[in-house]
Amino acid sequence: MMLEKLEQKHVVLLGFGVEGQATYEFLRTRFPNKTIGIADRRPLVDLEVAPAVLARLAQDRNLLFHCGESYLDSLRGYELIVKTPGIAKTNPTLGAVVERGALLTSHMEIFFELFDSRRVIAVTGTKGKSTTTSLVYKLAREGGLDVILGGNIGEPPLLHLDQATDKTVFVLELSSYQLEPLRRSPHIAVLLNIVPEHLDYHASFAEYASAKENITRFQDQSDFLVYNSDFTLPSEIADRSRARGVPFSIKLALDFGCYLEDDRIMFADGHLQKEILRTTDIPLIGAFNLQNVCAAVAAVAIAGASTATMGESIRSFKPLPHRLEYIGEYSGIRFYNDSISTVPESALGALEALGADVQTIILGGHERHLDYDYFARGLLGSKVENLILFSPTGERMWEAIRKAAGEGGLSLKAFPAETMEEAVRLAFQRTKRGRICLLSPASPSYGKFKDYRERGDAFRKYVEKLGRDSGK
């Protein structure tokens, strides 16, 4: 049915980023002569378009481009809109077109319509998605399954649909943006913890959490929900789910699921308990990464992969960039890049993982209206002494810290920074030998940086540059 709609209706791709380009490739392969619209605020020359796609676009005579500030006005001429995740469904122009009868869909909706969801493992949560998804993919592949990695990590799955056999399993990382419109759920859903995030896109935390819940909302009794039973919200969602719950925990032993016992990761299938590996063999630091490992082990074991290879697969796992990434030691200072940290909970988790050696932390960035009161109390209870703050959220964090400190006075010192070079220079000046400087902003990067990768790369660049300049 979906292919028929895509073939017969006037289709426009709303947003021409990574998913939009993948959807174009998918459509053009199947319908070589179909007229397709592309609508994006940015002109084509400003878009990051893969060279292969750019070459195809140059030769494609059946394209209509709608770029610039009035790009949304073009939607009135189309019957089916394939929306990129980053464009809010609440946009008034988009809403008016849909109200008049246009169909709204997405790359991920098309994929779930066309591919057997019984062969999909999908991961979501506020933080830890990429690491967990990468672990699932590695454990599954090395455990004997035919797997393809996609979603927010890897490539959009429609690009690989033709490569799939009747044994292929897709391993997907899904954001709240991608989950929100879905009316199908994967066979094995992995739900990490959920904390406030993306509140500049979702109307409320409740709406954000509801979007996350779509990963299990359409499951049935033949499906599985792997969930973090150490936290209330994932447990509540598991209670509502029709799928069979598969908990994971680093606090309690389980009869069924994956758990931490002393210094061992264990998996229980309801009858037997099997040791997967010792925590000292895990190349990831922090309690949150133990949770990610447990989630991955549970999902892959449920999928039918061999548990015999899991220990070695985890031992040889290479940590992803920008996630508590060790940059190096310069002037006796150890530098860690945790640019992926966009919420207070992840920054506190990084501080817990690195311990009392963290003397300086670089915080702040884009405003998403998060509450920093709990974060302020966490910082006051840590051994951190120096805060290097990017506006605007850095200013709000400092206000929350001063309020939390009350009349007791402040041991923390705050230093505003406008550029990453300035922030790193301050870090070298304020951090003592033998201590740690941590970039874990507890805020998104937008404004000063394109994304968390650019922010993390800038941190590394100036740490290495200023470290070389110091000659130490």
Mean pLDDT of 12-23: 95
**For position 51, what pLDDT does the model report?**
86
In terms of Cα–Cα distance, which of 129, 121, 119, 140 is closest to 307? 140
Tokens of 48: 């990051």
In terms of Cα–Cα distance, which of 182, 54, 193 is closest to 123? 193
CB atoms within 10 A of CB 157: 26
**For position 469, what pLDDT does the model report?**
82
Which fold, 2-105? Rossmann fold (3.40.50)
For 159-187, write each residue's pLDDT tens digit. Answer: 999 999 999 999 999 999 999 999 999 99
Mean pLDDT of 97-109: 95
For 220-255, write each residue's pLDDT tens digit. Answer: 999 999 999 999 999 999 999 999 999 999 999 999
For the chain, residues classed under CATH 3.40.50.720 are 2-105
**pTM for this entry:** 0.94
For 289-331, write each residue's pLDDT tens digit. Answer: 999 999 999 999 999 999 999 999 999 999 999 999 999 999 9
CATH code of the domain occupying 325-470 = 3.90.190.20
Q: Over 70: is that where the pLDDT of 199 sits? A: no
For the chain, residues classed under CATH 3.40.1190.10 are 115-315
Q: Over 60: is that where the pLDDT of 151 sits? A: yes
**For position 472, what pLDDT does the model report?**
57
Tokens of 56: 């195809």
Q: Over 90: is that where the pLDDT of 34 sits? A: yes
**For position 411, what pLDDT does the model report?**
84
Query: Strand (E) positions, 283-410?
Result: 325-330, 333-337, 358-363, 386-389
Q: Which residues contact 188 (CB under 8 A, 6 or more apart)?
A: 120, 121, 122, 223, 224, 226, 299, 302, 303
CB 463 within 8 A of CB 328: yes
**For position 444, what pLDDT does the model report?**
93
In terms of Cα–Cα distance, which of 128, 200, 193 is closest to 444? 200
Mean pLDDT of 126-137: 97
Reply yes or no: is the peptide bond before residue 392 cis, omega within 30 of 0. Answer: yes
For the chain, residues classed under CATH 3.90.190.20 are 325-470
| Type and span of the H or E element at 64 | strand 63-67
CB-neighbour burial class of residue 310 (10 A; exposed 0-12, middle 13-18, buried 19+):
buried
Given the candidates 3.40.50.2000, 3.40.50.300, 3.40.1190.10, 1.10.1040.10, the CATH classification of the domain at 115-315 is 3.40.1190.10
Half-sphere exposure for 357 (CA within 13 Å, toward CB): 14
For 395-435, write each residue's pLDDT tens digit. Answer: 999 999 999 998 767 889 999 999 999 999 999 999 999 99
pLDDT band at 471 (very low <50, low <70, confident <90, very high): low
Query: Strand (E) positions, 135-263?
Result: 147-151, 169-173, 188-191, 224-228, 244-249, 256-261
**For position 156, what pLDDT does the model report?**
97
Q: Which amino acid is at 437?
A: C
